[in-house]
């Protein structure tokens, strides 16, 4: 799976938005597969026009600060690519890091907002809010 730094660098070298959409689709295809049981109502993200699922796992290395790891999937190719970008941005971070992270700065660097339909943009917001909700819950349980 690509890191957010890899994605940012790749986006810098791709000028054409048609090519960027193809790249997003490739990112989505590279996501590790979610188990069929992960495609349940508990993991479904509300507010997305396409179907999106996010699975959250929380680990406490050495009994310390909770680290959240996410898996995701979508039934739409471009949206699955957006899931890959969001996972690259948030997965593997502590709850505190997730809550302090400003995803809009990254989206601005990628010029995502101005090239997404309002429905897809709302879906991105729903995914980010779901991740933040899980991070708040993990922080509260710490």
Active site residues: 48
- d(CA 95, CA 66) in angstroms, rounded, equals 6
Collapsing DSSP to helix, strand or coil, 108 comes out as helix
Cα dihedral across residues 58, 85, 99, 45: positive or negative: negative
- Look up residue 84 and give its two tokens: 């890959």
127, with CB counted inside 10 A (0-12, 13-18, 19+), is: buried
Number of other residues whose CB lies within 10 A of the CB of residue 21: 15
């Amino acid at each position: 799976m690509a890191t957010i730094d890899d994605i940012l660098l790749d986006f810098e070298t791709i000028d054409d938005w048609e090519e960027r959409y193809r790249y997003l689709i490739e990112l989505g295809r590279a996501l590790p597969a979610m188990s069929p049981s992960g495609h349940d109502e508990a993991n479904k993200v509300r507010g997305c026009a396409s179907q999106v699922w996010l699975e959250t796992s929380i680990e406490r290395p050495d009994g310390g600060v909770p680290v959240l790891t996410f898996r995701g999937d979508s039934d739409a190719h471009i949206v699955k690519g957006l899931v890959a970008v969001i996972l690259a941005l948030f997965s593997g971070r502590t709850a505190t890091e997730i809550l302090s992270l400003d995803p809009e700065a990254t989206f601005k660097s990628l010029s995502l907002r101005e090239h997404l339909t309002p429905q897809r943009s709302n879906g991105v917001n729903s995914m980010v809010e779901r991740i933040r909700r899980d991070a708040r819950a993990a922080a509260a349980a710490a």
